[in-house]
Every structure is written in structure tokens, then in C-alpha cells.
Amino acid sequence: MRFQSVCVLGLGYIGLPTASTLAKSGIKVFGVDVDQKVLDNLKEGQIHIHEPGLHELAREALDSRSLTLSNRPEEADAFVIAVPTPVTEDNKADLSHVLEAAEAIVPHLRKGNLVMLESTCPPRTTLDQVAPILERSGLAAGPDFFLAYTPERVLPGHILQELVENARVIGGIDAASAEAGRDLYRAFVDGEILLTDATTAETVKLLENTYRDINIAAANEFSQLAERLGVDVWEAIRLANRHPRVEILQPGPGVGGHCIGVDPWFLVEATPDLTPLIQQARAVNDGQPAHSADLIEQALGGLSGKRIAALGLSYKPNVGDLRGSPAIEIVARLVEGGAEVHTFEPYAQAASVGGAAAERSLKDTLEGADAAVLLVNHRDFVELDPRQAAQAMTGRVAVDLRGAWEAEPWRAAGFDIYTLGVGKPDA
């Protein structure tokens, strides 16, 4: 099955790279977003997502008119829904964007069209919620139009590469829908394309990120255990991982990003009585920012009036993605505790936290600080020379929440260094 035109609904971290990549493959793409600011910025050549190579790819697609922009769908051979699915305050899936996107497609749906849902959703969303909305068109899902689900599985900082190279799971409401989805994605995916049913495909994405969340929670719990026992968790993990069947992940100040901290709740929502382990893992990881803030407070002997250089605000190293970042929560807690916090995020320099001062350089951030706190292990922060930090700072406290700073050089520069997961033997 060949597709000459595709309408992509949602131009965020997945939608815009997908639309641009489809356009590069020779397909006419209509990019749709309800945020007029996003559309205006794209038309002016401003990409609202920091992702290597995306600016050039999107600009090429827009300049060639193979990608055009609108705030409402257009008729097309296929529709791809790539809108956000956040969680509510009570940790339930907010499907409002998905359902609104499906409703927007209805007037444009024609016999033989394909609708692909990419947004992460609880199991059975495709069958029980999206299909009935689309069938308001008078067409039947399956006999009249194809409907399938495919989870995105890309890593920020490598999205364009992984969109093409990663294996893709496509689940249809019937076999013909899965095959139609395969034909669309084969236009740009070099990786293996695996076909299944829609509900299995929805569950696959949730299992992947829940598995990671549980394993991160184990590492974070180990880090607190090590602090209590007077052990260096980083050394203990390194030695434990020499076992041929053990691969413990690294602890940190919490879990961020749009997926790992959100997706497990969709399984909890679907089966709350069967998910005590998942719920406990979420509690451990959600509690890690507060534990990290406590560690900083203990290192300084209190927060009130202390000037803190907070290094990094993104949720992972060497990208500017701020979604769900534990670093932002930690800074907010430090401010609430009375500290004077100066932040620096080199990959998103406009990023700020209420009550904290956003600086434009590492030097300005360190200037006059009582403590330097490594929140995100960006390359430049990991390679920071303690002697240069000492020249700029007033105090001599360093707090490493990523296990990335070698303690001895910091001590040699006169610092007291505190590392997440490293307890004192006499504690």
C-alpha cells in the first residue's frame, strides 16, 4: 500500500521529527498543531525543540513545501496522532488531547484511510476510545478504514537517528490495519517492523518504561541504603555488575522525561490491584528529589541565606529536555528552604525556576557560591576543574547527585564533597 499524503497531528518531540522525516522520504505531509505559537515559530524558522539535526531537517521540509503547517487537519491518505498524554494530579491518564485529535480527523476521514496512534496510552485506548470516535464518520474501523497503534521508542538527543534505525512495533485492530501501518512506516524505517494487535502494542511501550522505572527505583533505594550503611554505592554497583547475570543501573536525583515517570501509571490505572511493585517503584523515584534536597541541606548545615550554584535543569545529560526533570523540583525545594539559588542550563538557556536566578554561563553561576551542586551530568559540568570552581566560589562545598565527580581532586582543591549514595563509615 502506498501513501502519497500524511497528516501528522501534534508537532512536539515526536510529531515534528516524524513529520519532517516523512517529508524527506517524499511524502506530502500536513503538520497540525493547536498551539498557534508553535506554528508561528516554525514558519519563522524557529524550532521549539532542541534536538540535533532537527532544525535543518524541518527547515528543508518547510522550504520545499513537502511539509505544510496548519491548526486543523487536512484530507490525507493517512493520519498520525502524536499528541501528549500527561497524567492528572491523581496519576490517571489525561487522554483529552488524543480524543480531541481523533474528533478533528472525523470530518476528513475517507474510505481506505489509515489512522495511526503514536501517543502513549493505557491498554485498549485504540479499541475502546479512539475507534468509536472515528466511527462517527459513518465508516467502520477495519472494513472501511485502517486503524493501528505504534509506540515511539526514541531517545532525546538521538531522535532522528532512532526514528529510522530502531525496531518498530505496529499493532492493528486487525491484520490488514497492522500491514497498512507497516507499509507507511517502511517509507523511512530501516529497523525491523514487528506486527501485532493494537492492545499488545500499547502494552509493549508501557512494559518497556515500567521495567526501566522499577530498575531505577532499585538503584535509588540502594543509594539510600548505602548512605545509611556507610558504603559507596557506586563502588558496590560496579563490583556487583561483574556478576554475569547482574546489571544494576545507576542511581540519581530522580526520574525525568515524559515517559518513564508517566507510563507506569497507565498500567496502575488499568490494574491497580495487580501493580503493588510498580506503585512502590514510583514512590521511591518520586521521593528521590526530596532526598537529594535534604542531602544538600545537610552538606551546607542549613539552606537559609546560602548561595547555591545549581548545575543543570534538564532531565538527562547533554540535551535541553526539561520535561519532568527532578533537577527543577530540587531547585524549587532549595528556594523554598531559603537558599539563594543560581541555575545554569547550557542546553536550554532560557530555562528558569521560580525564585531562582538563571545565569548565562557556568562562571557566573559559580561566582560567590557557597556550594556547587551537580544536578545534571552534562559533559562540561563533569569536566569542571575544581581549582577553577574554587577561584570563583566563596564556599568550599560540592554536592554530586550523579556520581560523576572524582572526590579526590575536589578535596585537593579544598572542598568538602558529598556524593549521593556515599555514606560515611562512622554514620
pLDDT in tens, 111-147: 999 999 999 999 999 999 999 999 999 999 999 999 9
In a domain, 219, yes or no: no
pLDDT exceeds cutoff 70 at 426 = no
Number of domains in the chain: 2
Domain that holds residue 53: 5-196
Domain stops at, among 196, 225, 245: 196
Pair (71, 187) in one structural domain = yes
User: Does the pLDDT at position 162 exceed 70?
Assistant: yes
* Residue 307, phi then psi, degrees to nearest 5: -95, 125
How high is the pLDDT of residue 427? Answer: 43
Between CA 209 and CA 285 the distance in angstroms is 13
Same structural domain, 159 and 294 = no
The pLDDT of residue 365 is: 98
Q: Is residue 100 part of a domain?
A: yes
Position 398 pLDDT exceeds 90: yes
Whether residue 88 is contained in a domain is answered as yes
Query: In this structure, are 48 and 179 located in the same domain?
Result: yes
Q: What is the CATH number of the domain that holds 181?
A: 3.40.50.720
288 and 160 in a single domain? The answer is no
Confidence of residue 425 (pLDDT cuts 50, 70, 90): low
288 domain residue, yes or no? yes
Q: Report the predicted TM-score, pTM, of the whole model to 2 decimal places.
A: 0.92
Q: Indicate the pLDDT class of residue 407, thresholds 50, 70 and 90.
A: very high
The catalytic residue positions are 205, 259
What CA–CA distance (Å, rounded) separates 418 from 398? 6
pLDDT computed for residue 424 by the predictor: 78
Question: Distance between CA 66 and CA 203 in Å, rounded?
Answer: 34
Q: Is residue 184 domain-shared with residue 311, that is, in the same domain? A: no
Rounded CA gap, 234 and 114, in Å? 49
Alpha helices in 276-338 (DSSP H): 276-300, 326-336
Rounded to 10 deg, the angle between the 263-270 and 276-300 helix axes is 140
Question: Which residue in this structure is represented by grid cell 493517512?
Answer: 78
End-to-end alpha carbon distance in the chain = 67
- Over residues 253-287, the pLDDT tens digits come to 999 988 999 999 999 999 999 999 999 999 999 99
pLDDT bin (cut points 50, 70, 90) of residue 50 is confident
Model confidence pLDDT, tens digit, residues 242-256: 999 999 999 999 999
CA atoms within 13 A of residue 314's CA, in its CB half-sphere: 20
Kindly state the percentage of the chain with pLDDT values over 90. 94
Both 38 and 153 in a single domain? yes
Map 184-220 to HEC letters.
HHCCCCCCCEEEEEHHHHHHHHHHHHHHHHHHHHHHH
Model pLDDT, residue 250 = 97
Q: What is the DSSP letter of 139?
A: P
262 lies in some domain: no
| Whole-number Å distance between alpha carbons of 400 and 384 | 12
pLDDT at 312 over 80: yes
Would you state the pLDDT for residue 157?
A: 87
